[in-house]
Amino acid sequence: MSFSWGEALRVALVGFSGVFVILTILWLSLKITAAVVRRLPQKPPVEKKRSA
């Protein structure tokens, strides 16, 4: 089975760095979501009606 080491290196470099790129974008998106959620007006806690 023939393959070129150059091709293997390309696959590994693109694959491994690609994993980090996508996970970093996910990280940033989580940070942005958290920041946006924190700025949203918070609903006041609903008071439970006490039964008589």
Partner 1 sequence: MFGMEFGFQFLYWGHIVMIVLGILFIYLGAAKDYEPLLLVPIGLGMMLVNLPLGGLMDYQLEYRAPVEGIVRQVAAPGTVVGEGGLLFTIERTGTAGPETVEIRVDVTGLEGAKVSALRTVGTRSIQSGDVVLAGDRIATIRTTRPPPLAEEMVPVGLISRFFSYGLVWEIIPSLIFLGLGALTDFGPVIANPKSLLLGGAAQFGVFFAFFAALGLGALWPDIFHFGLREAASIGIIGGADGPTTIYLTQALAPWLLGTNAVAAYSYMAMVPLIQPPIIRLMCSKKEIATYMKPQLREVSKLEKIVFPVAGSIIIILFVPQVAPLIGMFMFGNLLREVGGTQRLARTAQESFIDIVTLILGITVGAFMSAESFLRPEALAVFFLGLIAFATATVGGVLMGKLMAKFSKEPFNPIIGAAGVSAVPMSARVVQRMGQKANPRSFLLMHAMGPNVAGVIGTAIAAGFFLGMLR
Binding site residues, partner 1, CB under 8 A = 1-3, 5, 7-8, 10-12, 14-16, 18-27, 29-31, 33-34, 37, 40
Nearer to partner 1, 3 or 52 (CB): 3
Termini Cα distance of the chain: 81
Return the structure tokens found at 25. 């974008």
Taking the complex as a whole, the smallest distance from the CB of residue 45 to partner 1 amounts, in Å, to: 14
Distance CA(35)–CA(41), nearest Å, equals 12
Q: Which residue's structure tokens are 């760095």?
A: 17
Nearer to partner 1, 36 or 52 (CB): 36
